[in-house]
Amino acid sequence: MRQKSLGNLQVYQSALELSERAWEIYLDMPKEFRFEMGSQFLRSVDSIGANIAEGYGRYHYKVKIKFYYNARGSLWEAKHWLLLLHKRNFITDELFKTLLQKLTTTGKQLNGFIASTGAPNDQ
Protein backbone atom coordinates (compact mmCIF):
# COMPACT_ATOMS: atom_id res chain seq x y z
CA MET A 1 0.00 0.00 0.00
CA ARG A 2 1.33 3.42 -0.95
CA GLN A 3 1.91 5.94 1.80
CA LYS A 4 1.79 8.98 -0.49
CA SER A 5 -0.26 9.95 -3.48
CA LEU A 6 1.48 11.21 -6.58
CA GLY A 7 0.37 14.78 -5.95
CA ASN A 8 2.00 14.76 -2.52
CA LEU A 9 5.44 13.74 -3.78
CA GLN A 10 7.86 16.67 -3.48
CA VAL A 11 9.72 15.66 -6.65
CA TYR A 12 6.46 15.65 -8.61
CA GLN A 13 5.43 19.03 -7.20
CA SER A 14 8.83 20.41 -8.21
CA ALA A 15 8.39 19.04 -11.72
CA LEU A 16 4.96 20.69 -12.00
CA GLU A 17 6.41 24.01 -10.85
CA LEU A 18 9.12 23.74 -13.51
CA SER A 19 6.46 23.04 -16.13
CA GLU A 20 4.61 26.22 -15.19
CA ARG A 21 7.80 28.27 -15.49
CA ALA A 22 8.63 26.65 -18.84
CA TRP A 23 5.15 27.49 -20.12
CA GLU A 24 5.63 31.15 -19.17
CA ILE A 25 8.94 31.24 -21.06
CA TYR A 26 7.34 29.58 -24.06
CA LEU A 27 4.49 32.10 -24.16
CA ASP A 28 6.94 35.02 -23.92
CA MET A 29 9.03 33.82 -26.85
CA PRO A 30 8.55 35.33 -30.29
CA LYS A 31 6.26 33.04 -32.28
CA GLU A 32 8.89 32.27 -34.89
CA PHE A 33 11.11 30.67 -32.21
CA ARG A 34 8.42 28.76 -30.33
CA PHE A 35 8.29 25.82 -32.72
CA GLU A 36 12.01 25.07 -32.61
CA MET A 37 13.52 26.00 -29.27
CA GLY A 38 10.41 26.80 -27.31
CA SER A 39 8.60 23.55 -27.89
CA GLN A 40 11.75 21.46 -27.33
CA PHE A 41 12.34 23.16 -23.98
CA LEU A 42 8.69 22.87 -22.98
CA ARG A 43 8.47 19.21 -24.00
CA SER A 44 11.63 18.25 -22.11
CA VAL A 45 10.47 20.00 -18.93
CA ASP A 46 6.94 18.59 -19.15
CA SER A 47 8.41 15.13 -19.71
CA ILE A 48 10.04 15.18 -16.26
CA GLY A 49 6.71 15.19 -14.43
CA ALA A 50 4.99 13.00 -17.02
CA ASN A 51 7.58 10.24 -16.61
CA ILE A 52 7.41 10.46 -12.82
CA ALA A 53 3.63 10.11 -13.03
CA GLU A 54 3.78 7.20 -15.45
CA GLY A 55 6.37 5.36 -13.39
CA TYR A 56 4.40 5.97 -10.22
CA GLY A 57 1.38 4.35 -11.78
CA ARG A 58 3.25 1.21 -12.79
CA TYR A 59 3.25 -1.89 -10.62
CA HIS A 60 6.55 -3.61 -11.33
CA TYR A 61 9.76 -2.17 -9.92
CA LYS A 62 11.83 -2.46 -13.12
CA VAL A 63 9.19 -0.67 -15.16
CA LYS A 64 8.83 2.08 -12.55
CA ILE A 65 12.57 2.68 -12.50
CA LYS A 66 12.72 2.89 -16.30
CA PHE A 67 10.29 5.81 -16.25
CA TYR A 68 12.12 7.51 -13.40
CA TYR A 69 15.36 7.22 -15.38
CA ASN A 70 13.54 8.68 -18.39
CA ALA A 71 12.52 11.61 -16.16
CA ARG A 72 16.17 12.12 -15.24
CA GLY A 73 17.14 12.10 -18.92
CA SER A 74 14.47 14.69 -19.65
CA LEU A 75 15.77 16.82 -16.81
CA TRP A 76 19.24 16.87 -18.39
CA GLU A 77 17.71 17.68 -21.77
CA ALA A 78 15.84 20.58 -20.15
CA LYS A 79 19.15 21.88 -18.75
CA HIS A 80 20.55 21.81 -22.29
CA TRP A 81 17.65 23.81 -23.70
CA LEU A 82 17.77 26.22 -20.77
CA LEU A 83 21.43 26.91 -21.51
CA LEU A 84 20.65 27.56 -25.17
CA LEU A 85 17.76 29.85 -24.27
CA HIS A 86 20.14 31.83 -22.09
CA LYS A 87 22.98 31.93 -24.64
CA ARG A 88 20.56 33.14 -27.31
CA ASN A 89 19.16 35.85 -25.01
CA PHE A 90 15.62 34.52 -24.67
CA ILE A 91 15.87 34.58 -20.87
CA THR A 92 17.66 36.83 -18.39
CA ASP A 93 20.70 35.86 -16.33
CA GLU A 94 18.53 35.89 -13.22
CA LEU A 95 15.88 33.59 -14.69
CA PHE A 96 18.57 31.26 -16.03
CA LYS A 97 20.21 30.96 -12.61
CA THR A 98 16.87 30.47 -10.86
CA LEU A 99 15.69 27.73 -13.21
CA LEU A 100 19.07 26.01 -13.33
CA GLN A 101 19.04 25.83 -9.53
CA LYS A 102 15.47 24.51 -9.59
CA LEU A 103 16.41 21.85 -12.15
CA THR A 104 19.44 20.88 -10.06
CA THR A 105 17.34 20.61 -6.91
CA THR A 106 14.69 18.59 -8.73
CA GLY A 107 17.42 16.30 -10.03
CA LYS A 108 18.62 15.64 -6.49
CA GLN A 109 15.04 14.98 -5.39
CA LEU A 110 14.59 12.60 -8.31
CA ASN A 111 17.79 10.72 -7.49
CA GLY A 112 16.63 10.38 -3.88
CA PHE A 113 13.21 9.21 -5.02
CA ILE A 114 14.78 6.61 -7.32
CA ALA A 115 16.99 5.38 -4.48
CA SER A 116 14.03 5.20 -2.09
CA THR A 117 12.00 3.14 -4.56
CA GLY A 118 14.33 0.20 -3.93
CA ALA A 119 14.21 -3.19 -5.58
CA PRO A 120 11.84 -5.67 -4.00
CA ASN A 121 13.49 -8.68 -2.33
CA ASP A 122 12.00 -11.14 -4.79
CA GLN A 123 13.51 -9.62 -7.95
In the chain, what are the domains? 32-116 (1.20.1440.60)
Q: What angle do CA 89, 26, 104 make, to 5 degrees?
A: 75
- Which secondary-structure segment (H or E) carries 51? helix 39-56
Q: Is the pLDDT of residue 96 over 50?
A: yes
What distance in Å separates the CA atoms of residue 58 and residue 108, rounded to the nearest whole number? Answer: 22
Collect all residues with Cβ–Cβ distance below 8 Å to 21 and sequence separation of at least 6: 45, 99, 102
Going by C-beta distance under 8 Å and a sequence separation of 6 or more, which residues neighbour residue 76? Answer: 107
pTM of the model: 0.91
Q: What band does 14 get if pLDDT is binned at 50, 70 and 90?
A: very high
The span from the CA of 70 to the CA of 2, in Å, is 22
When pLDDT is averaged across residues 103-113 and rounded to a whole number, the result is 97
Rounded CA separation 10/18 (Å) = 12
Extract the runs of DSSP E, i.e. beta strands, from the chain: none
At residue 123, does pLDDT exceed 80? no
Share of the chain above pLDDT 70, in %: 93
